[in-house]
Structure 1
């Protein structure tokens, strides 16, 4: 199969509530309208919002409801993410569920949005999964993509499509659109960057092709973003370059160089001068005044 149909759901969701039934309704409507739909992608923390108190063990009730939803609609379903509790730690975890209602894999966000996403532990494994006869997919969550090594690591493992749920409600969303395009172009992959809207986030989801070209950029309203991944096209771009131009993956593969920033024996004094990772405070506040 050369093509694969994905719908990203940019939904108007409520923070600190169970949004499952809102999500379920939109997934059912999407599949009913587009019978050719293969996969649905939700935004980060779509189910309950950004409160860690909703953390669950996995497998758990919320994930099981998504398993049932995927099976009933015969789709692959990417849950966005849920806060996952493991002993005394909480992770921001994305689950991928098959059309048979089985969890294919889980990915724990490697870069929580520190110093703001406090109390959330960091994952340490890059996660890809293969759909037989289709292609290889990689998982990334929100702040992860600000670190180009993450997407490069996924593509190094074979990922052709990066599924990237996000939850951004700040002024830097426009910067993230540029980062999505840059990651796609540098790694010759599809970037599927799905944000929430309404109370939770500012929307502006984006889908980018392997040349960095914008396939679709949403605005701020609720939206179903339906698009087709063309794997033959992607593989041709990787082999010949986008529009017959650069072949960065081959150059990365063939260049025998050790990047200094990854050599632990080298000094990081320049970065150490930046100080601790903590929330900034106003320079206009005098701490001596009550």
Structure 2
């Protein structure tokens, strides 16, 4: 059995106080690992360690205060913590400085303290988020377990993101989020839809009040919510059976629907005008023959 034990910490930053937010983050991660030493991976919300102010509060120096290079001093600290505790870390997302350009970037840190993956948010929340968009989809392998894809918040509103991550072999999509607005209800719908349509687990982790409105979810490959948080601080623990992804794709969602098999059979013949002359290429892992 290929299992991934996840702790998703729905928490809030201390607004505009990076040092206190780090201390709180470190204490929470240590507490979670002490409570559940079997945990493989810990994730926190989008931009947590950047300590952003609430949405309606001016924060003119946010970029300069929060920006960090990757790799750099902050990822070194994260690596040391992951190595000490022996866990994978997805520390939300960071404000990454690359020359004169700033990105909203998620990283995955191995239990050995190394950066396994770096993902720049493809779809910043325009016009409110001024950080620049990335260009690449990102997955990483957890040895002996499976492949994980990274997405950030508003990326979930674009079905192409989850579809491409699944095409690349992701069996779990980890999606740090920071949502303060009333459309959180629809983000939960989209998390379920992305899981259902692509037959993957989705870990959509929002910030707690007052940073966000919470309502984090962990969704299984059939689109069913496994865990659903309230609005306050909370930890979602789940053991994900990645063999379940294989099973659902082979036998169908609820024993019925096998979209990847149908894509492998038919969609190479379908033209997609919105993508110009591009055609769908079945992923290497997919098998066809839906009848």
Alignment of 1:81-120 (within 5 A): 81-118=93-130, 120=131
What is the CA-CA distance between 1:77 and the residue it aligns to? 0.3
Asked if structure 2 preserves the Cα contact closer than 8 Å seen for 1:78 and 1:95, the reply is: yes
Return the alpha-carbon distance in structure 2 between the equivalents of residues 218 and 56 of structure 1.
30
Return the alpha-carbon distance in structure 1 between the equivalents of residues 16 and 257 of structure 2.
46
Q: TM-score, normalised by structure 1?
A: 0.89
| 3-state SS, counterpart of residue 177 of structure 1 | helix
Return the alpha-carbon distance in structure 2 between the equivalents of residues 145 and 12 of structure 1.
21
Return the alpha-carbon distance in structure 2 between the equivalents of residues 26 and 81 of structure 1.
17
Return the alpha-carbon distance in structure 1 between the equivalents of residues 227 and 264 of structure 2.
30
After TM superposition, the runs of 4+ consecutive aligned structure 1 residues lying more than 3 A away are none
Partner residue of 1:250? 261
| 3-state SS, counterpart of residue 164 of structure 1 | strand
Asked if structure 2 preserves the Cα contact closer than 8 Å seen for 1:14 and 1:199, the reply is: no
**1:4-36: CA deviation from partner (whole Å, max 9, x where unpaired):** 100000013222221111011011011111111
Q: Tell me if 1:171 matches 2:191.
A: no
Structure 2 gaps, min length 5: 53-61, 279-291
Partner residue of 1:215? 226
Q: Tell me if 1:12 matches 2:23.
A: no
Q: Tell me if 1:228 matches 2:239.
A: yes
**1:180-222: CA deviation from partner (whole Å, max 9, x where unpaired):** 0000000000000001112211111010000000001101110
Aligned residues: 264
Return the alpha-carbon distance in structure 1 between the equivalents of residues 103 and 247 of structure 2.
37
- Which residue of the other structure, out of 180, 184, 194, is the alignment partner of 2:191? 180
Q: TM-score, normalised by structure 2?
A: 0.88
- Which residue of the other structure, out of 19, 31, 48, is the alignment partner of 1:29? 31
Partner residue of 1:69? 81
Partner residue of 1:240? 251
Name the CA shift for 1:239/1:140 in 2 (closer, same or farther; >3 Å).
Answer: same
| RMSD of aligned residue pairs (Cα, Å) | 1.3
Moved more, 50-59 or 64-73: 50-59
| 3-state SS, counterpart of residue 260 of structure 2 | helix
Structure 1 gaps, min length 5: 266-290
What is the CA-CA distance between 1:264 and the residue it aligns to? 7.2
Partner residue of 1:3? 3
Return the alpha-carbon distance in structure 2 between the equivalents of residues 219 and 108 of structure 1.
28
